[in-house]
Structure 1
């Protein structure tokens, strides 16, 4: 890992905050200023009190500020979660604040729908082009028959197409089309017509360029504004931005847009527990207003709207996907350093690494769920 920072570990002060942190880490295998790749190297004496005050938000911001380093943050995150420090690292005040906000305000309303696009996806297409593979997929790859990131993303796209049973001439809606990955693949390899929607201007611009000459229509639009009728609908990596107060609206909208014999594929990160929460650091710096659904959330929200045909979990595949993005970011950062500062680099490294650790620990899942409005006979999903 390369870094512009020139810092070395300090002698840790023997204070109460440090003692509390060491007690919390006891049994995790993580040592302060240790020699293992997952150990934390401390560069600022106030790190401990900052983490105790602000939990994961303080830990993430301290890393962005250069207060600590770790050779393998992914391994560190995995150990912390397996040690049971995930929820305990979120101060009660932060959890309460998010619950109050999400309870009183629809954080993912139409008026607020474009916030995450402007804050994250519009950072710059050049950054994502260097970080992602040539498909520009910004979601979990499918590694069952893949050895490289590019192969895994191709296999994911093809898996979705096969589950949707695409045939030439079908009208397909892609809710949250990103940079046009699925639209390009489905139109090019399966001969379908695709309408893709995104809430990111940067994504829409690049998606239109990538899909030029194909029967693909890319729109800057919220899913609640859509009209029309589609034979197939797909949503890959977008449901995490819908929010629990809008789940019913989301599934009702999909039902209204789907033909009677249609199929819908939902691809989403999932939480093991049915609690409305968000990691404070991710919420502030990566995906504002995002919230992960549980299996119960998905099942309850879709009940009465659509018929569930298949549910597949390949959450462990997100670990190598994220590590592939991290490797790309490190390898190609020299092409981006003139536009983005060191704090942005550390923010992205931290985000990718802690998420890899979360999936490795099985704290998070990745689900593909296939629905129909009505289907006579059996549905067999490919694997």
Structure 2
């Protein structure tokens, strides 16, 4: 046991983290079996042992940020990473048959949870913390509205246009576009709970919500966007995804892709995230996106505001922490610890700049005279 503890202490020292230290980001051990679990399972062991109450930290996001900033996730990887890499190579984890799994396991958890966490607007993607005049915003609801408005302005929405939302979530983006910019639209999602909520939210507006895989789309729209869905597409399907988006647009139209991005090209996600939060997910790299859309689109604009996601996640965590006492008992203590770890780990990835948030504007044939991107 001493040798295992010593090895863990040595690794944590590389991230300026101490066992039993008095700083907010120091790790407090509650079960001595932790050391063997961390060394054997890497990030999966770290997350699962937190869920089991084997350790704690006053500042969970502070600890996880330091682990990532020191690249300890690469130094202690565990067998799960190897297994996931082999599965991703041999299998299309995001095939049409598997596409509804993430809806069932994540997005269908309960609209009460997401309503409590996401704020006034049920928008489950990075907010934009700057107003039209560039001034900083300090309120989540205002920042989400600013993001939706930014998307509409980048697409140049005009009254009468027909708009496609690939992965429409709870329908907030289409509702905003219909009410503020006078468009009609279609939204597709793989979540039954999201589809039911979105239909009710958009009742009375010229919006159709479908429970449908994106690969089934084959009809004409004037504009298309996708906010926080591309993370579920998978590298084996990227070319098909852009082919589908392009065939739904005319030569003069625009497509906006809003996605989390990875600094490195990978084929699968972190083992803990894949097991407990987003099954069959993965984050694209810039190289993977560029290669996949080559021949289908002209890349007009690439906007990175990944630092805004840390602030968005902090707001989500504050909301859900306040709401726990009022939420259903099915969200038990282990679930709460899982969710807390998920949000804190996500903060850490953006704070360390391991992950980015990209908005790309793409055109099938190129905008005549060039494209000027709003910010």
Match of 1:236 among 227, 251, 264: 227
Match of 2:120 among 134, 156, 166: 134
| Distance apart, 1:339 and its partner CA | 3.0
| Distance apart, 1:95 and its partner CA | 2.3
Matched residues in 2 for 1:284 and 1:152: separation? 31
1:46 aligns with 2:33: yes
| Distance apart, 1:220 and its partner CA | 0.3
| Distance apart, 1:227 and its partner CA | 2.0
Contact 2:89–2:267 (Cα < 8 Å) also in 1: no
Corresponding position of 1:98: 84
Matched residues in 2 for 1:57 and 1:27: separation? 20
SS of the aligned residue for 2:197 comes to helix
Contact 2:169–2:194 (Cα < 8 Å) also in 1: yes
1:32 aligns with 2:19: yes
Corresponding position of 2:73: 86
Match of 2:324 among 300, 315, 333: 333
Corresponding position of 1:379: 371
Give CA deviations for 1:56-95 in whole Å, capped at 9, x if unaligned.
101101111111111111111111111121222322x322
Match of 2:268 among 257, 270, 277: 277
Matched residues in 2 for 1:339 and 1:44: separation? 26
| Distance apart, 1:96 and its partner CA | 2.1
Give CA deviations for 1:5-31 in whole Å, capped at 9, x if unaligned.
xxxxxxxxx611111100101142211
Taking structure 1 as the reference length, the TM-score comes to 0.95
1:199 aligns with 2:190: yes
Match of 2:4 among 14, 17, 31: 17
Of 331-340 and 279-288, the range deviating more from structure 2: 331-340
1:67 aligns with 2:54: yes
| Distance apart, 1:338 and its partner CA | 2.3
Of 140-149 and 363-372, the range deviating more from structure 2: 140-149
| Distance apart, 1:32 and its partner CA | 1.1
SS of the aligned residue for 1:268 comes to strand
Match of 2:172 among 164, 181, 187: 181
Corresponding position of 2:111: 125
Matched residues in 1 for 2:346 and 2:237: separation? 25
Match of 1:346 among 328, 337, 343: 337
Matched residues in 2 for 1:181 and 1:18: separation? 49
Matched residues in 2 for 1:77 and 1:209: separation? 39
Contact 1:131–1:328 (Cα < 8 Å) also in 2: yes
1:313 aligns with 2:304: yes
| Distance apart, 1:275 and its partner CA | 2.3
Corresponding position of 1:10: none
Q: How does 1:285-300 map to 2 (within 5 A)?
A: 285-300=276-291
Taking structure 2 as the reference length, the TM-score comes to 0.97
SS of the aligned residue for 1:203 comes to helix
Contact 2:44–2:80 (Cα < 8 Å) also in 1: no
Corresponding position of 1:151: 142
| Distance apart, 1:365 and its partner CA | 0.3
Of 285-294 and 144-153, the range deviating more from structure 2: 144-153
Give CA deviations for 1:310-365 in whole Å, capped at 9, x if unaligned.
00000000000001100001001111152311111111110000110110010100
Contact 1:90–1:279 (Cα < 8 Å) also in 2: no
SS of the aligned residue for 2:176 comes to helix
Contact 1:90–1:280 (Cα < 8 Å) also in 2: no
Matched residues in 2 for 1:329 and 1:373: separation? 41
Contact 1:122–1:203 (Cα < 8 Å) also in 2: yes
SS of the aligned residue for 1:86 comes to helix
SS of the aligned residue for 2:72 comes to coil
Of 283-292 and 62-71, the range deviating more from structure 2: 62-71
Give CA deviations for 1:211-253 in whole Å, capped at 9, x if unaligned.
1111111100000011210000000000000000000000011
Matched residues in 1 for 2:176 and 2:146: separation? 11
